[in-house]
Amino acid sequence: MPYNEYRSRTGGQKWTAVREEYMLENTTPRIKTQPNGPYIVTGNVPLYELIIEARGKEYVYRPGRAFPRREQYALCRCGQSANMPFCDGAHVSCAFRGGERASRKPYSAHAVTYRGPGVDLTDVEELCAFARFCHAEEGNVWELTLRSGDPHLKEMAIKTAVECPAGRLVAWDKETGEAIEPSYEPSIVLLQDPERGCSGPLWVRGGIQIEGADGHEYEVRNRVTLCRCGRSRNMPYCDAAHVSWGFKDQ
């Protein structure tokens, strides 16, 4: 909100205290889901585009567009905006219903564990965004985990797990018990999937707090994907409905 409005709403607080609270609220990366409306992104979060591209039996991310930095912006959640990826109010005219059905339990409460000789793997299938990075020339991530006594296959098991944008898959160091995660700055990526003829979800990276329409704060994670086609049955998260629907944002 504008600073003057914020100050007026905080009553008799001293100017310094008000300013500090205002700056904290408006610089911490955050995504707030609006009831049957868009995602409001605050905190000057970078917005990029990456294109999923097949190379042999593996997949890579190819750079796409980069959008100008904004302190705050609204991203379409209904899939109907004529100004993608931004909201243009289409959720009102299309009577969008974006009720959130995703579990509010932490990732660990749902995860299935696969133990390998070199690395362990956890998996929450309902988070799958069908990005297909779990497949490599040497096999899929589950096979690679079970064969991870081989140093090369261990490396590939970790690679295929950490490249999953949805955070469905997490590789775990067997010695430390710590999750193996790439280092991301807080950012949002629009995924495009020309091989499947569709546009993918919002890839939220770097531990951004996501707040539901009712104020619930979801577990902060390094990698999650949010629905932007308006069809997921696991909102706010993506469930790969964009593929079957053939969602396109261009």
C-alpha distances in Å from residue 81, one per residue of 90, 190, 203, 243: 5, 15, 19, 18
Round to whole Å and give the CA distance between 223 and 168.
Answer: 9
In whole numbers, what is the pLDDT of the chain averaged over residues? 91
pLDDT for 14 beyond 80: no
pLDDT (mean) for 198-217: 98
pLDDT in tens, 120-150: 999 999 999 999 999 999 999 999 999 999 9
pLDDT in tens, 67-126: 999 999 999 999 999 999 999 999 999 999 999 999 999 999 999 999 999 999 999 999
pTM value? 0.89
pLDDT (mean) for 176-195: 97
Q: What is the 3-state secondary structure (H, E, C) of 97-156?
A: CCCCCCCCCCHHHHCEEEECCCEEEEECHHHCCCCCCCEECCEEHHHHHHCCCCHHHHHH
Write down the pLDDT at residue 3: 31
**Model confidence band, residue 26 (pLDDT cutoffs 50, 70, 90):** low
Write down the pLDDT at residue 119: 98
Residue pair 29/206 in contact by the 8 Å Cβ criterion:
yes
Which amino acid is located at 52 in the chain?
A: I
- In this structure, what token pair is assigned to residue 75? 């991203």
Share of the chain above pLDDT 90, in %: 87
**Model confidence band, residue 10 (pLDDT cutoffs 50, 70, 90):** very low
- In this structure, what token pair is assigned to residue 82? 């004529």
| Residue of 47, 86, 40 whose CA lies nearest to 65 | 47
